[in-house]
Amino acid sequence: TAGRATGARGLRFTPVAPNTDDKVTVPDGYAQSVVIRWGEPILRGAPAFDADKQTAKAQAGQFGYNNDFLSLLPLRGEHGRQVLVANHEYTDEVLMFKGYDPENPTREQVEIAWAAHGLSVVVVQEQHRDGRLTPVTRHPLNRRLTATSEFRLTGPAAGSALLRTSADPTGRTVLGTLNNCAGGTTPWGTTLHGEENFNQYFANGSSATDKRYGIGTGATERKWERFDKRFDAKQEPNESHRFGWVVELDPYDPDSTPRKRTALGRFKHEAAQPRLTADGRPVVYMGDDERFDYFYKFVSSKRMMKGSSRKAREHNLTLLDEGTLYVAKLTGDSPQDIDGTGKLPNDGEFDGSGHWIPLATGDVSHVPGMTAEEVYVFTRLAGDKVGATKMDRPEDVEPSPRTGRVYVALTNNSNRGKPGQPGADEANPRNLNKHGQILELAEHWDDPASDGFAWRLFLVAGDPDDPATYFAGYPKEKVSPISCPDNVAFDPYGNLWISTDGNQLGSHDGLFGVATHGERRGELKQFLTVPTGAETCGPIIQQRRVLVAVQHPGEVDGASAEKPASQWPDGPGRLVRPSVVAVYRKDGRDIGV
């Protein structure tokens, strides 16, 4: 098979050592360049970035802040060009604005922050001489979507009374998308974007559901509620229900209104990664990134139409509106051996079986005591009721294009096993879990729509010298230390790439590669590290190029625009700027071979 010919060969670069250098460090023989920075103009009429004269109008035409998920899509008919789509998860006002007063943000600062959130679509141009990519400013596909752009709610909960507000009595039109963390790319050429920690934007929460979703009872840190009453839950209790969805964007249609897909449920969506069943129906895997929250999938009832005809494109934009939403329940096969230390069970693996518990299909609820609309809008409560497995913060998820196995990053859980909190189980085997783990899931008969699966832990992260770590059984003296896996991606050869957020081993965060099958399964190697205070996001591994989103560089306690903790990417005296970076081999050959 193709898998045997080109897969399973592992990775052959010299690993980058853990470090705390204020730069992007890449392996010997590799080079890097910034693709695009926060504030670079992408739309017609947008000015060049000027830190001292930033305006909301300028920002709305410029690349947003804190790039997270990235997708690169082909652009037919334009040689050497691709379409880059980026999430802008959140803003760090204290690093963005000199003289920022957190107690008294100005209207202009707040409106700049609204414009710096959301999504960017920007066409990028390959360079002949190396792996560089440069933005094509003013390309007609370039687009910014912000915290005030129009989005449409679709699917079974659209129009529900739970989604209506005084500004939108239809419950179908929302202004903005917020806290877009990771996402996914669909086989029909659209992108998916998870709205994650939306709770932080809403003040004065009071209901039990507000509490379950983490909406605070007082003012918010950014104080947006002073400038738009929709961010005040006391005045607009349903506005927060209109966030926490998966957004679907058609980057090829700059006039399209992006959709929030209610059939995929509402929670702190980290990511949404689709694959197809044998008969062409999409299945989307999704994590809810919170300590003790759940792992989900959505199975569409409709088949994808192939091709790029208008009819096919219109049909495919309905795929994520009809189907069944499920939540995962995992059962270990060695419960007697799990003591919370991370010691391997006597059968040699953290493993077991699982099943998918249906929550709702269209207008039909499968959860006693909840209507279908309630299941979609308050999905966490549905998961609570059916006894789903409480996980260690499910982050990004990625099915292997080679084996069909699904990899789920469980980033950490500092509360596991604390008094009054759930203790370790076989899928989440360490109490006070600082470093996280990666779960490997195999659907029965490799059918993504199956109601059952087998699972085992692929990695139990940490310092390989720590006995409570596991690297798929590979010799631990040959692997790189890793902590807090967050994003996962596959390269064209079937190697898994893992980026981290919050390294607890004294090094900066980074990107790692590892084979998931063959003799080198578990041979984890660190490929790069990021600057001070940054998280490594959005990895895309192409044959000859790696793209990473360096998110929140310089985000260190006490740092500010006047007293930066990082000088990346432009050196002393300049604002630190979240940016996308391309990494490639100096000799032009393939990555990792």
Residues of this chain that bind ligand FEO (CB under 6 A): 89, 181, 196, 270, 289, 395, 486
φ/ψ of residue 329, rounded to 5:
-120, 125
Looking at residues 476 to 495 of the shown chain, list those that interact with Ca ion (rule: CB under 5 A).
486
Length of the chain in residues, anyone?
A: 593
The token pair that represents 24 in the structure block: 């992007």
Among Ca ion, ligand FEO, none, partner that 334 touches (CB below 5 to 8 angstroms by kind) = Ca ion
Q: 386 vs 549, which CB is nearer to ligand FEO?
A: 549
Q: 145 vs 549, which CB is nearer to ligand FEO?
A: 549
Residue from the set 101, 339, 347, 519 that interacts with Ca ion by CB under 5 A? 347
Shortest Å distance, C-beta 427 to ligand FEO: 18
Shortest Å distance, C-beta 105 to Ca ion: 25
Given CA atoms 118, 295, 381, 161 in this order, what sign does their dihedral have?
Answer: positive
**Stretch near Ca ion under the rule CB under 5 A, chosen from 41-49, 216-224, 334-342, 575-583:** 334-342
Q: 220 vs 487, which CB is nearer to ligand FEO?
A: 487
Q: Distance (Å, rounded) from C-alpha 238 to C-alpha 350?
A: 42
- Residue 535, H or E segment: strand 535-541
φ/ψ of residue 277, rounded to 5:
-75, 170
Q: Does 345 bind Ca ion (CB under 5 A)?
A: yes
Q: 233 vs 498, which CB is nearer to Ca ion?
A: 498
Shortest Å distance, C-beta 333 to Ca ion: 5
- Residue 398, H or E segment: strand 394-399
Among Ca ion, ligand FEO, none, partner that 93 touches (CB below 5 to 8 angstroms by kind) = none
Shortest Å distance, C-beta 68 to ligand FEO: 6
Q: 160 vs 483, which CB is nearer to Ca ion?
A: 483
CA atoms within 13 A on the CB side of 442: 13
Q: 137 vs 200, which CB is nearer to ligand FEO?
A: 200
Shortest Å distance, C-beta 351 to Ca ion: 4
The burial of 20, by beta-carbon neighbours within 10 Å (0-12 exposed, 13-18 middle, 19 or more buried), is given as exposed
- Go through 109-126 and write b for each residue having 16 or more CB atoms within 10 A of its CB, e for each that does not: bbbbbbbbbbbbbbbbbb
Looking at residues 424 to 443 of the shown chain, list those that interact with Ca ion (rule: CB under 5 A).
none
Task: Classify the phi-psi angles of 385: left when phi > 0, otherwise alpha if psi is within -120 to 50, otherwise beta.
Answer: alpha
Looking at residues 510 to 549 of the shown chain, list those that interact with Ca ion (rule: CB under 5 A).
none
Q: 89 vs 111, which CB is nearer to ligand FEO?
A: 89
Q: 197 vs 560, which CB is nearer to Ca ion?
A: 197
- Residue 94, H or E segment: helix 93-96
Angle at 63 between CA 114 and CA 153, to 5 degrees: 50
**Stretch near Ca ion under the rule CB under 5 A, chosen from 299-307, 329-337, 398-406, 582-590:** 329-337
Judging by DSSP bridges, how do beta strands 150-154 and 259-261 pair with one another? parallel
CB 211 within 8 A of CB 223: no
Shortest Å distance, C-beta 264 to ligand FEO: 17
Shortest Å distance, C-beta 555 to ligand FEO: 13
Residue from the set 253, 333, 466, 590 that interacts with Ca ion by CB under 5 A? 333
Among ligand FEO, Ca ion, none, partner that 347 touches (CB below 5 to 8 angstroms by kind) = Ca ion
Q: Does 398 bind Ca ion (CB under 5 A)?
A: no
Among Ca ion, ligand FEO, none, partner that 421 touches (CB below 5 to 8 angstroms by kind) = none
Among candidates 268, 285, 282, which has minimal Cα distance to 321? 282
Q: 407 vs 584, which CB is nearer to Ca ion?
A: 407
Q: 22 vs 89, which CB is nearer to ligand FEO?
A: 89
The token pair that represents 4 in the structure block: 């045997």
The token pair that represents 450 in the structure block: 């199956």
- In Å, what is the CA distance from 418 to each residue of 393, 424, 436, 494? 16, 10, 16, 38
Among Ca ion, ligand FEO, none, partner that 345 touches (CB below 5 to 8 angstroms by kind) = Ca ion
Shortest Å distance, C-beta 176 to ligand FEO: 17
φ/ψ of residue 324, rounded to 5:
-125, 135
**Could you please report the per-residue DSSP string of 292-348?**
EE-EEEEEESSPPPPS--HHHHHHHTTGGGSEEEEEEEEEES-GGG--SB-PPPTTS
Greatest CA separation for the chain: 65
Q: Distance (Å, rounded) from C-alpha 499 to C-alpha 486?
A: 6
Shortest Å distance, C-beta 196 to ligand FEO: 5
Q: 321 vs 509, which CB is nearer to Ca ion?
A: 509
Q: Distance (Å, rounded) from C-alpha 345 to C-alpha 234?
A: 50
Fill in the DSSP letter of residue 9.
Answer: -
Looking at residues 174 to 213 of the shown chain, list those that interact with Ca ion (rule: CB under 5 A).
181
Q: Does 290 bind Ca ion (CB under 5 A)?
A: no
Shortest Å distance, C-beta 48 to ligand FEO: 29
Number of residues near Ca ion (by CB under 5 A): 9
CB 365 within 8 A of CB 371: yes
Among ligand FEO, Ca ion, none, partner that 333 touches (CB below 5 to 8 angstroms by kind) = Ca ion
Q: 289 vs 491, which CB is nearer to ligand FEO?
A: 289
Start-to-end C-alpha separation, the chain: 19
Shortest Å distance, C-beta 574 to ligand FEO: 26
Q: Does 351 bind Ca ion (CB under 5 A)?
A: yes
Residue from the set 137, 301, 334, 421 that interacts with Ca ion by CB under 5 A? 334
Shortest Å distance, C-beta 499 to Ca ion: 9
Shortest Å distance, C-beta 5 to ligand FEO: 36
**Could you please report the per-residue DSSP string of 432-486?**
TBSS-EEEEEEEGGG-TT-SEEEEEEEEE-B-TTSTT-EETT--GGGS--B--EE
Among ligand FEO, Ca ion, none, partner that 398 touches (CB below 5 to 8 angstroms by kind) = none
Q: 168 vs 501, which CB is nearer to Ca ion?
A: 501
Among Ca ion, ligand FEO, none, partner that 196 touches (CB below 5 to 8 angstroms by kind) = ligand FEO
- Go through 255-283 and write b for each residue having 16 or more CB atoms within 10 A of its CB, e for each that does not: ebebbbbbbbbbbbbbbbbbbbbeeebbb
Q: Contact positions toward Ca ion, by CB under 5 A?
A: 181, 333-334, 345, 347, 349, 351, 486, 501
